[in-house]
Chains A and B, each alone.
Chain A
Amino acid sequence: MKFRPAGPGALLVEVDTLAEVRALHAQIARERARGWAPALMDVIPAARTVLLDGVTDHDAVADEIRSWSVPPHPEASGQLVEIACRYDGPDLGDVARQWGVPPERVADVHSGLTHEVAFCGFAPGFPYIAGLGGGREVARRDRPRAAVPAGSVALGDEYTGIYPRTSPGGWQIIGHTDAVMWDEGRDPAALLRPGDRVRFVNVTP
């Protein structure tokens, strides 16, 4: 476990695996329920890190976390959500090159993989859907786009993401979906949540 200050008010805790992130995040939630670190404003789990925003004494917080014995987090068996995807994105060629397949094969490869939502972030309803391990990881673009359209299905590292609304982004866009990822009038507002399994269905015309 590594502790990396993120400026004077935050601490980034780095671990080796996504499973460790889930376990640590659950432990932090239990400690907070017992009144630990009341000044914390946000706790943000991600791929290999948990960010604690609202930390004044980095060393004291790090010492306390080191002293915890963190039990492993049980594997969730989430609901299965199907996402209808048109594989017509502008970066199909780049992804095909990285995967060493012809562009017309990207849809088959992607929709044939097993996907699971690892965590949410970046924007409300934006899921980091793990599933590109084992050599299918994708390098991001050198410069992010200023505006990625809502519904874009895009790849970055070991994840597939779906943009809930138009926003800046550096991932490689392989397709589009009409699924509404975030709706404040819906409960829950987010269509995909951590632990959900995802099947991408190829509906390219």
Chain B
Amino acid sequence: MTGESKRAIRVSRAGALTTVQDCGRPGYAHLGVPRSGALDAPAHHLANRLVGNPPAAPVLETTLTGVAISAECDVVAAVTGARAAVRVGGQPARLGAPIRLRRGQLLEVRSATSGVRSYLAFSGGLAVPRVLGSASADLLSGLGPPRLASGDVLQLGPIDETGGRNCCVLGELPAIAVPAGPASAPAGNSVPEPVRLVVHPGPRFDWLASPGLPVLEDGQWMVSPDSNRVALRLAGQPVRRRRGELASEGLVCGAIQALPDGHLVLFLADHPTTGGYPVIAVVDPACVSACAQARPGSKISFRLASGRT
């Protein structure tokens, strides 16, 4: 333990929507509890590894307009995910690298220039009370801590001296695997336009009218502004599907529903556990982080996975 004052950060500017996220609440879906958790899991894990935390430690997740926090103690931070300018005490700092913050210094993540969500990890992790085993803010169910407000003070967990030093040994950084996927690359890449998503047949692909699933490869969709942590709402040429009613059934992250009017809803981490519109396709798990970083107005195109699912 450091012998200094309380380990904490203070929120100077909360941004449009900044929440605490970890790996969410698997195992409670049968009670109606969403999985929740960081939308861009690779970026979440990378941020933690850069500061020497376990990959699942709670971090901050921003939305489009970034966040600014001041350090109440000396702390190592890292910013991953969306492309955004990072400033420490007004000076440029790097995305995707450990950042030493001195007590009182301001860490700013400016508006995302590509992608949506930045992840801020702090050595020791955010010490937030767990609900059903997770610190994640679930915006559908309201479980977990509230969204950040300016002036909030968030406590940090303890670090041991060894872990705290090791995380800043820059020579070790090449050993850290930077996950593939454009949205998670710490620097130099941006989310491509359009966002191309690999999809598998969903349990109700047979609700699509002829030609069936290939209609997804033929069309192009746009991410609607009313998209959020629950789902991307996709506007485009409506798909033609069978009329009728389907009994509500369980949903997975990445499920794509076809609404009766032919519009598509693509579910993300805060999705309801069950739903009654047919799931015609499911996004490949490796593409979910790209969904998390798809900005309102982004074009979306689909490619069917080859082989069986």
A: residues with CB less than 8 A from B are: 4-10, 12, 14, 41-51, 53, 58, 119-126, 128, 137, 139-140, 142-144, 146, 156-157, 159, 164-165, 167-168, 170, 182, 184, 190
CB neighbours of A9 from chain B (8 A): 252, 285
- Picked from B31, B284, B285, the residue with its CB within 8 Å of the CB of A120 is B31
Q: Which of B230, B251, B276 contacts A157 (CB 8 A)?
A: B276
Which of B32, B248, B260 is within 8 Å of A125, CB to CB? B32
| Interface contact A49-B249, CB-CB below 8 Å | yes
A53 to B200, CA, bound (A): 15
For the complex, give the distance between the alpha carbons of A137 and B244 in Å. 12
A156 to B248: give the CA distance in the assembly, Å.
9
Q: Which of B1-9, B39-47, B137-145 contacts A (4 or more CB under 8 A)?
A: B137-145
Known: A7-B252, A156-B276. A46 touches B31 (CB 8 A): no
- A34 CB to nearest B CB, Å: 18
Residues of A with C-beta under 8 A to B259:
142-144
- Closest Cβ of chain B to A39, distance in Å, is 11
Chain A: which residue is nearest B233 at the CB level? Answer: A146
Cα of A42 to Cα of B271 in the assembled complex, Å: 14
Q: Could you write out 28 A-B pairs with CB less than 8 Å apart?
A: A5-B201, A6-B255, A6-B279, A7-B255, A7-B284, A8-B285, A12-B250, A42-B27, A42-B28, A44-B250, A46-B247, A46-B248, A46-B249, A46-B250, A47-B249, A51-B251, A53-B252, A120-B32, A121-B29, A122-B275, A123-B140, A123-B141, A124-B33, A126-B32, A144-B259, A159-B248, A170-B276, A190-B31
CB of B29 within 8 A of CB of A5, answer no
Residues of B within 8 A of A (CB): 26-35, 131, 140-143, 200-204, 226, 230, 245, 247-252, 254-255, 259-261, 263, 272-277, 279, 282-285, 305, 309
Do the beta carbons of B203 and A6 come within 8 Å of each other? Answer: yes
Q: B27, B261, B285: which contacts A143 (Cβ < 8 A)?
A: B261
Q: Could you tell me the distance in whole angstroms from the C-beta of B51 to the nearest C-beta in chain A?
A: 27
Given contacts A5-B309, A42-B27, A139-B245, 9 further A-B contacts (CB under 8 A): A10-B282, A42-B29, A49-B250, A51-B249, A51-B250, A124-B33, A140-B245, A170-B276, A190-B32
Q: Which residues of chain B are within 8 angstroms of A50 by Cβ–Cβ distance?
A: 250
Q: Are A121 and B273 in touch, CB under 8 angstroms?
A: yes
Complex: A182 Cα to B32 Cα, angstroms? 11
Chain A residue at minimal CB-CB distance from B31: A120
B180 CB to closest chain A CB (Å) equals 17
In the assembled complex, how far is the CB of residue A129 from the closest CB belonging to chain B, in whole angstroms? Answer: 12
B250 contact set on A, CB distance < 8 A: 6, 12, 42, 44-46, 49-51, 53, 121
Contact B32 A142 (CB under 8 A): no
Closest Cβ–Cβ distance, residue A193 to chain B (whole Å):
9
B-chain residues with CB within 8 Å of residue A42 when the two chains form the complex: 26-30, 35, 250, 273
Known contacts A4-B204, A143-B261; is-contact A121 B141 (Cβ 8 Å) = no
Selected contact of A6 from candidates B28, B247, B252, B284, CB within 8 Å: B252
Chain B residues lying within 8 Å of A170, measured Cβ to Cβ, are: 276-277
Closest chain B CB from A69 CB (angstroms): 23
Bound complex: CA of A50 vs CA of B200, how far in Å? 20
Q: Chain A contacts of B31 at CB under 8 A?
A: 120, 124, 190
Instruction: Among B141, B255, B283, find the residue whose CB has the most chain A CB atoms closer than 10 A.
Output: B141
In the complex with contacts A6-B202, A165-B142, A184-B143, A43-B248 CB distance below 8 A? no
Q: Whole-angstrom distance between the alpha carbons of A63 and B247 in the complex? A: 25
When the two chains form their complex, are residues A124 and B32 in contact, meaning their CB atoms are under 8 A apart?
yes
Task: Write the nearest CB–CB distance from A107 to chain B, whole angstroms.
Answer: 24
Give the distance to chain A from B270, nearest Cβ to Cβ, in Å.
10
Q: Are B309 and A167 in contact (CB under 8 A)?
A: no
Residue in A closest to B199 when the chains form the complex, CB atoms: A7
A123 touches B202 (CB 8 A): no
Q: Which A residues lie within 8 Å of B282 (CB)?
A: 6-8, 10
Chain B, Cβ-Cβ closest to A156: B276
Q: Which residues of B contact A48 (CB under 8 A)?
A: 247, 249
Given that A47-B247, A143-B259, A167-B140 are known contacts, is A122 also in contact with B274, CB under 8 Å in the complex? Answer: yes
Q: Which of B26, B142, B204 gathers the greatest number of chain A CB atoms within 10 Å?
A: B142
- Contact status B248-A157, CB under 8 Å: yes
Q: B26, A157: Cβ atoms under 8 Å?
A: no
B252 touches A146 (CB 8 A): no
